[in-house]
Structures are given as structure tokens and as C-alpha cells.
């Protein structure tokens, strides 16, 4: 067994951690220097956020534009590594801007916390005991000792479920808590630990697991938008008639509706928007992803698209989305990471619901953009243009030459790093 050089890693300073890592992973001093470069989030602040910090990771922050949401113009910061995502959202938003943009709504910030009760002698009786004491328990929760009460939130409902398992029947108690403007994970867990012993005393048995559920079905946001046939036609620069584009989009949507293999990719595209905003605003994107995909399987037990499309009586395309969105604007990394704070300021949201409504609109825009492109010119054309720019930049083209190099690659239909380097050399040698 090799000596564990990471023993006590958490007690080391950041420089010491970097030196250990340098030796362990054979890093160059220049790579260590790169790891030390700070963005707005200082390495010292990052060290307070998670454990064993040795660097701060950077990703591009792009701005999706042209959004009209509930009558207000909005710009939306995205943190994402994938080219075309921001451009696609901005384009989809532009195409519905003059038909009213996005109409959105959201539930209150109700999160579910679960307590798993085992070894209960009479489950039916236990359920009744909880039901009978429910109002009393809710009253008991109205103490400022518990989080969210002073902000108007707190425990609003207690539900019970009985689930068969190989350990026999389990009694699952759900606490529904309004987490107001926080994501609520810590809040929920505090409520669960406060109530589990009290309920346990009442019903006997054993309170085992106590944790929030990330399937936040009571915390959804929704959005709707209309794309006219005129806008659909313009999106193809007149190459395809509007009514035809509409039919092609409905056909593409139907594919996702009937095939889970397609529906997952369809929903992944939606999450390109939603998760990018989650990252920009310091929200837990894993929780959001888990919840969205589970939600997509809840009805009639086949995995379904999170959006739906239809033609309205005026012949326009209507798109709708409904998605669980447990997001906060206070607490967590939003209090430490300056980029998150600035992104929230750019979004100009005063409540968690407002943020979730913007995310729903962005998810819908992202999905419309993807299926419109897939159903018409295909996804690669737009992608390749952006890839060409990336290759040109990676080949060393400065801002004056990026456009020229990428255009030449597209004309030659040869988009690669090698070709970008070759073209750049040729252009430079011509100039010398």
C-alpha cells in the first residue's frame, strides 16, 4: 500500500495542497500558476465553500438576449461550455418577441421533506394519529426558532404514504415546507430533525432516514410562447414556408412524445438553458436535473418531453413548458460567489419564483430553438459556424482574423483545428 500523500489534505494551506497535487499528478509549475489565477471568486472564498480546495474553475458566462418575459425585457446570464446554446436561446426569444414573448408563472417555494418510519406495529393507526395531530403540529412549527417562519414561510402540510418494501411496509411522512426565497435543502432538513422525534413519540416505531426530496412537484414553474408562421418562415430566411416549418416542428415534437430515447435528448436541450442559469446563479443544478428528469416520467410512467407544442386557432405555433424548479436567490453560494451575485443582479429578480419563471422561459426557448433547427436545416450548420470560430481562436487568430479564418473554413467545408492553423499561417505569410 502506497503512502497516502493526501492524509490530512484538508488541514493544509492552498499552496501546500497545490504542491502535493503537483507531485502526485506531475503538473508543471506553469500549470500550478494557472490554477492560482483567480476570477471574481477568490481562492480564499472558494476555500470556505467546499473542502480541500486547490483552485477555482472557470467557465464562460454568456448573455442570452432578446427575451420578453411577462412584458419585461430581460437578459439572462448563462454559464455553459457548449457553443451555440446562448445563440440559440437568443434567437428563439427574438422570434417570439413581437408575438408577446413569454408568459410565465410559478408555484410557491414548497419543498417536500421525507421521514422514513420503520417497525411500526399498526400503520393505519399511525397514519390516523398523524392526521389527527396535524393541525397541532403545524401550529407548533410557528416558532421563529425554525427557519423561514419570520419570512412568512414554514410548514404548511403533513402527508403520509405507505410503501411496500422487502423490509415490510414503510410509513413515509412528508413535511411540506414553504422555503420562500431559499432553495431550502437546509431548511427542510432542520424541519425534519425537529419533527421526527415528536412524530416518533406519537406513533412508535423507528424514524430512520430524514432528508428532503429533490422531486419538487409542488415547486414548478411554467412558461408559454407563441411563434407566428411569419416568424417561423423568417427563421429559415424564407427557404421554407411558415406553415411547413410549423408542421415540421410538430412532427419533431411528436417524435419526443412517443420515444423516450428522443425525449431524453429533447429534455437535455431544455436543461441546456435551465442548468446554465442554475450555474450562473449559484443554484444546485444536480438537484434541478434530477427533479426535471423524474418529473418527466411521473405521468403514465413513460418518460415524456417537458414541453408541448400545438397549433392555435390563428395558425400560430404555441409552445409550453412546466418543470419543477427548486431554486433560491438567497443563501448557499449566492452569498459568497461574486459572479452569482452579479448574475442575480443582471436578472433583476426579487423572489425565487421570479428566477424560476425566467428559467422556465429559457428552457422553452432552448427547446424551441433545438427542434426548429433539427426539423429544418439540421443542428450542425449553426454549430459548425461557432465551432469554426472556436477553432480559429484556438489556432491563435486574434480578434481581427477570427471571422476571416472561420469564414474560409466554412467555405472550404473543412472545419478543424489543423485547417484553422493552416489558413492562419497562409494569411500571415501573405501579409509579411
Name the segment binding ligand MEV (CB under 6 A); options: 91-99, 117-125, 138-146, 265-273.
265-273
**Separation between Cα atoms, residue 110 and residue 104, nearest integer Å:** 18
Name the segment binding ligand MEV (CB under 6 A); options: 152-160, 268-276, 298-306, 408-416.
268-276
Judged by CB under 6 A, the residue of 138, 379, 393, 427 near ligand MEV is 379
**Separation between Cα atoms, residue 406 and residue 386, nearest integer Å:** 9
Nearer of residues 321 and 371 to ligand MEV, judged by Cβ: 371
- Known catalytic residue at 284: yes
Closest contact distance (angstroms) between CB of 121 and ligand MEV is: 51
Judged by CB under 6 A, the residue of 74, 94, 210, 266 near ligand MEV is 266
Closest contact distance (angstroms) between CB of 265 and ligand MEV is: 4
Cβ 351 vs Cβ 106: under 8 Å: no
Nearer of residues 266 and 387 to ligand MEV, judged by Cβ: 266
Give the list of residues 6+ apart from residue 51 with CB closer than 8 angstroms, or none.
10
**Separation between Cα atoms, residue 296 and residue 284, nearest integer Å:** 19
- Under rule CB under 6 A, residue 216 binds ligand MEV: no
String marking each residue 31-70 x if it binds ligand MEV according to CB under 6 A: ----------------------------------------
- Known catalytic residue at 387: no
- Under rule CB under 6 A, residue 268 binds ligand MEV: yes
- Known catalytic residue at 383: yes
- For 54, other C-beta atoms within 10 Å of its C-beta total 21
Q: Which of residues 104-123 bind ligand MEV (CB under 6 A)?
A: none
Active-site residue, from 16, 44, 82, 135: 82
Q: HSE of 283 in the Cβ direction (CA atoms, 13 Å)?
A: 29
Nearer of residues 203 and 365 to ligand MEV, judged by Cβ: 365
Nearest to 226 by CA among 306, 312, 307, 305: 312
Collapsing DSSP states into helix, strand and coil, what is residue 419? helix
Active-site residue, from 22, 133, 293, 383: 383
Judged by CB under 6 A, the residue of 43, 323, 370, 402 near ligand MEV is 370
Strand partners, 393: none
State how beta strands 307-311 and 206-213 pair.
unpaired
- Known catalytic residue at 243: no
Instruction: Scan for cell 472558494, then name that residue.
Output: 46
**Separation between Cα atoms, residue 418 and residue 395, nearest integer Å:** 8
> Cell numbers at residue 6, please?
493526501
**Separation between Cα atoms, residue 323 and residue 246, nearest integer Å:** 24
- Under rule CB under 6 A, residue 269 binds ligand MEV: yes
Name the segment binding ligand MEV (CB under 6 A); options: 149-157, 202-210, 233-241, 261-269.
261-269
Nearer of residues 133 and 268 to ligand MEV, judged by Cβ: 268
Judged by CB under 6 A, the residue of 228, 272, 275, 340 near ligand MEV is 272
Name the segment binding ligand MEV (CB under 6 A); options: 143-151, 298-306, 317-325, 370-378.
370-378
**Separation between Cα atoms, residue 295 and residue 292, nearest integer Å:** 5
Cβ 176 vs Cβ 159: under 8 Å: yes
**Separation between Cα atoms, residue 334 and residue 343, nearest integer Å:** 10
Chain residues binding ligand MEV by CB under 6 A are 82, 265-266, 268-269, 272, 370-371, 374, 379
Which amino acids are annotated catalytic? Answer: 82, 268, 284, 383
Amino acid at each position: 500500500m502506497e503512502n497516502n500523500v493526501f492524509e490530512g489534505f484538508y488541514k493544509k494551506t492552498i499552496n501546500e495542497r497545490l504542491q502535493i497535487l503537483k507531485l502526485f499528478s506531475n503538473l508543471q509549475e506553469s500549470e500550478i500558476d494557472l490554477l492560482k489565477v483567480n476570477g471574481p471568486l477568490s481562492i480564499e472564498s472558494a476555500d470556505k465553500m467546499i473542502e480541500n480546495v486547490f483552485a477555482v474553475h472557470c467557465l464562460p458566462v454568456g448573455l442570452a438576449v432578446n427575451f420578453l418575459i411577462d412584458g419585461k425585457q430581460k437578459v439572462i446570464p448563462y454559464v455553459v461550455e457548449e457553443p451555440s446554446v446562448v445563440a440559440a436561446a437568443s434567437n428563439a426569444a427574438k422570434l417570439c418577441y413581437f408575438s408577446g414573448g413569454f408568459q410565465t408563472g410559478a408555484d410557491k417555494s414548497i419543498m417536500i421533506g421525507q421521514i422514513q418510519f420503520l417497525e411500526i406495529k399498526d400503520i393505519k393507526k399511525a397514519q390516523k394519529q398523524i392526521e389527527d395531530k396535524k393541525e397541532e403540529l403545524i401550529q407548533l412549527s410557528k416558532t421563529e426558532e425554525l427557519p423561514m417562519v419570520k419570512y412568512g414561510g414554514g410548514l404548511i402540510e403533513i402527508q403520509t404514504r405507505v410503501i411496500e418494501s422487502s423490509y415490510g411496509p414503510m410509513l413515509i411522512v412528508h413535511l411540506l415546507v414553504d422555503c420562500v426565497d431559499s432553495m431550502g435543502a437546509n431548511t427542510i432538513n432542520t424541519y425534519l430533525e425537529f419533527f421526527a422525534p415528536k412524530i416518533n413519540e406519537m406513533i412508535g416505531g423507528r424514524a430512520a432516514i430524514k432528508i428532503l426530496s429533490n422531486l419538487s412537484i409542488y415547486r414548478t414553474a411554467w412558461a408559454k410562447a407563441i411563434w407566428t408562421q411569419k416568424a417561423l418562415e423568417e427563421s429559415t430566411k424564407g427557404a421554407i414556408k411558415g406553415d411547413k416549418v410549423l408542421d415540421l416542428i410538430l412532427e419533431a415534437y411528436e417524435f419526443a412524445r412517443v420515444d423516450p430515447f428522443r425525449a431524453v435528448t429533447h429534455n437535455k436541450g431544455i436543461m441546456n438553458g435551465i442548468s446554465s442559469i442554475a450555474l450562473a446563479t449559484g443554484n444546485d443544478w444536480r438537484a434541478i436535473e434530477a427533479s426535471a428528469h423524474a418529473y418527466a416520467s411521473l405521468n403514465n410512467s413513460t418518460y415524456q418531453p417537458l414541453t408541448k407544442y400545438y397549433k392555435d386557432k390563428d395558425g400560430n405555433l404555441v409552445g409550453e413548458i412546466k418543470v419543477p424548479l427548486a431554486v433560491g436567490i438567497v443563501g448557499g453560494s449566492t452569498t459568497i460567489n461574486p459572479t452569482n451575485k452579479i448574475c442575480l443582479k443582471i436578472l433583476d429578480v426579487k423572489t425565487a419564483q421570479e428566477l424560476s419563471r425566467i428559467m422556465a422561459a429559457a428552457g422553452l426557448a432552448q427547446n424551441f430553438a433545438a427542434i426548429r433547427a433539427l426539423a429544418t436545416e439540421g443542428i450542425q450548420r449553426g454549430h459548425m459556424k461557432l465551432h469554426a470560430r472556436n477553432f480559429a481562436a484556438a489556432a491563435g487568430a486574434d480578434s481581427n482574423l477570427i471571422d476571416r479564418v472561420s469564414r474560409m473554413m466554412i467555405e472550404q467545408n473543412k472545419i478543424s483545428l489543423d485547417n484553422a492553423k493552416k489558413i492562419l499561417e497562409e494569411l500571415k505569410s501573405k501579409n509579411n
